[in-house]
Amino acid sequence: MNAAAVELRAAAKTYASGTQALLPVDLCVAPGEFLTLLGPSGCGKSTLLKMMAGLLAPSSGEVRVWGEAPALGPTSGGRTGSPGGAARRPLGFVFQEATLMPWASVCTNVRLPLDLAGVPHAEATPRVRAALQLVGLDAFEDSLPRELSGGMRMRASIARCLVTQPRLLLMDEPFGALDEITRYRLDSDLLALWQQQGLTVIFVTHSIHEAVFLSQRVLVMAARPGRVVDEIAIDEPYPRSADFRVSTAFARHAARLQDSLLSASAEQSRA
């Protein structure tokens, strides 16, 4: 597989009202990369992510995921061979909210994408178990979402994504609503999953610290109009432990990201 996981060529989004949500972006994400889109609200980071997921069409330019235009649904491209949905999905999307069905158990929620794709129960059940194990929820498969904490709900949501065995994980501020301590744990667990499963992750956040801790590369974005203003590599080895969060290297990277964000907004207020 030598195709890029995601490739954008001058992809831009202008709404019918004339609002420029996103100026043209060129981007190439390598398979196995962990990329973060960092910026204030209104900078078009979610728009960018949704274009990659095929939830939004670019108004100009091109979006390629695994060499193909992203399309919705289980019948979309990237599904090679074997019937019954055993093949890996091209991409999975994790929302800001856990978006679980409140009436269904964790197990049923995680099985949902397989059910929608018509995967028989006998085949789906072990995959659901495995996905729940990956996120550490195997003891809670019969619980209802309301019985879980916010962090556990997010884990269930991630499990629902992993059960389709996506090669590319698109995450839209997934831990934004969680408390800081829970967020730290989920960050660490996500990194472990990423390495273990050989995923490509594109992660949206407005937290500088989360961006530094997780990513290999950070795209800094600015608002009005939404655009990419900087690209910063976080050249630190994995696995990254809690110690990394209090290291001088971490602080240096955080300072660079902060400078970049601040100068972008200063430029804008002068203009």
Partner 1 sequence: MNERWQKVFWPAAVAVLLLALWQGLVVAFEVPVFLVPSPLRVWQALVEDGGLLFAALLNTLKITLLAFALAVVLGTAIAFAFVQSRVIETALFPYAVLLQVTPVVAIAPLIVIWVKDPTASLVVCAALVALFPVIANTTLGLRSVDPGLLAYFRLQGATRWQTLRRLRIPSALPYFFGGLRISSGLALIGAVVAEFVAGTGGTGTGLAYQILFAGYQLNIPRMFAALALIALAGVALFAVMAGLSRWALAGWHDSETAHE
Residues in contact with partner 1 by CB under 8 A are 53-55, 72-76, 93, 95-97, 99, 101-104, 112-113, 115-117, 144-146
Minimum CB distance to partner 1 smaller for 106 or for 257: 106
Minimum CB distance to partner 1 smaller for 41 or for 75: 75
Positive or negative, the CA dihedral 172, 178, 179, 184 is: negative
Shortest spacing between CB 168 and partner 1, in angstroms: 13
Minimum CB distance to partner 1 smaller for 44 or for 90: 90
Write the burial class of residue 184 (CB in 10 Å: 0-12 exposed, 13-18 middle, 19+ buried).
middle
Minimum CB distance to partner 1 smaller for 83 or for 239: 83
Strands 60-65 and 6-14: antiparallel
**Interatomic CA distance for residues 26 and 149, integer angstroms:** 39
Shortest spacing between CB 41 and partner 1, in angstroms: 17
Q: Which secondary-structure segment (H or E) carries 256?
A: helix 248-270
**Interatomic CA distance for residues 152 and 39, integer angstroms:** 26
**Interatomic CA distance for residues 258 and 244, integer angstroms:** 18
Minimum CB distance to partner 1 smaller for 36 or for 109: 109
Shortest spacing between CB 66 and partner 1, in angstroms: 16
Q: What is the dihedral of CA 257, 225, 6, 100, to 10 degrees?
A: 90
Shortest spacing between CB 169 and partner 1, in angstroms: 13
Minimum CB distance to partner 1 smaller for 103 or for 238: 103
Q: Would you tell me how many other CB atoms lie within 10 Å of the CB of residue 251?
A: 13
Shortest spacing between CB 85 and partner 1, in angstroms: 11
Shortest spacing between CB 149 and partner 1, in angstroms: 16
